[in-house]
Amino acid sequence: MATQTSDLLAAAAPRTVDVVRGIADDQLDLPTPCRDYAVRDLLNHLFQVVVNFQDLAVKRQVEWAEKPDHLGDGWRDRFAVETDRLVAAWSDPSTLEGVSPGMGMPQAVVGGMALLDLTVHGWDLAVATCQPYEPAPEVVAELHGLVERLGPTARRVGVFADPVPTPTPGAPDLAHLLSQTGRAPTWSR
């Protein structure tokens, strides 16, 4: 990635943390743009991403099959703490060297995947709970290349849906990024 992954994560993190802090308990069962995921499910997934990618930064194996419930007491504050730890975990330039033993991909791609989840799921949660969300422009710009690179494989394994058309040719960069991950940028519940 052209800019240090931790710098991009540091730009993305507060925006997603703000969205998570703004989710009310009575919104946890609302639908999201992620098919088959309610807000609660997506929060648990994003929590797992934030925690597991800390270990992936230091090239440790992670367990994706376990689906812990992270939404106990103080979950909003714990999400903020874990997100800070994610940024710190990727701050050493050596985290981008080599291939991830847990993912079998270049470490730079793995770091980009954490950034992608933090950004796109931040948008997912924001629109599901009717909150504003404006990702950092440098993050969106960086993610376009990653989504283009990962898209065919991600679609084949069901991580991305097929691309959807953007609402207008002059749509913002975020709308183009979302559409490439299979999300309708105009989604609403």
pLDDT digits (tens, 9 = 90+) for 79-122: 999 999 999 999 999 999 999 987 889 999 999 999 999 999 99
Give the pLDDT confidence score for residue 2 in this predicted structure: 40
pLDDT value of residue 70? 92
Taking 50 as the pLDDT cut, the residues of the chain under it are: 1-2
> Is pTM, for the whole model, over 0.85?
yes
Q: What is the pLDDT of residues 79-89, one digit of tens each?
A: 999 999 999 99
The predicted structure's pLDDT at residue 3: 54
pLDDT at 23 (0 to 100): 98
74: Cα separation from own chain's centroid: 21
